[in-house]
Chains A and B, each alone.
Chain A
Amino acid sequence: AQSVTQLGSHVSVSEGALVLLRCNYSSSVPPYLFWYVQYPNQGLQLLLKYTSAATLVKGINGFEAEFKKSETSFHLTKPSAHMSDAAEYFCAVSLYNFNKFYFGSGTKLNVKP
Chain B
Amino acid sequence: DTGVSQNPRHKITKRGQNVTFRCDPISEHNRLYWYRQTLGQGPEFLTYFQNEAQLEKSRLLSDRFSAERPKGSFSTLEIQRTEQGDSAMYLCASRSGQQETQYFGPGTRLLVL
- Give the B-binding residues of A (Cβ under 8 A): 4, 9, 32, 34, 36, 41-46, 49, 51, 90, 92, 94, 98-106
Contact = CB atoms under 8 A, between A and B. Distances in A.
Interface of B: 4, 6, 31, 33, 35, 40-45, 48, 55-56, 91, 93, 95, 99-107, 109
Interface centre among B42, B44, B56 (most CB of A within 10 A): B42
Contacts, number: 60
A41 B41 CA distance: 14
Nearest to B3: A43
A101 B58 CA distance: 12
The prevalent SS among residues of B at the interface is: strand
A32 B100 contact: yes
B48 A105 contact: no
Given A43-B91, A44-B91, A101 B102 contact: yes
Contacts of A99: 31, 33, 48, 55-56
Contacts of A92: 42
A94 B100 contact: yes
A43 B40 CA distance: 14
B35 to A, nearest CB: 8
A34 B44 CA distance: 15
B99 to A, nearest CB: 8
A101 B104 CA distance: 12
A45 B35 CA distance: 15
A102 B4 contact: no
Contacts of B45: 100-102
Given A36-B104, A103-B44, 14 more contacts: A4-B42, A34-B101, A42-B107, A43-B91, A46-B103, A94-B100, A98-B95, A98-B102, A100-B45, A103-B43, A104-B42, A106-B40, A106-B41, A106-B42
A90 B42 contact: yes
A31 B74 CA distance: 30
Contacts of A103: 42-44
A104 B103 CA distance: 17
A42 B106 contact: yes
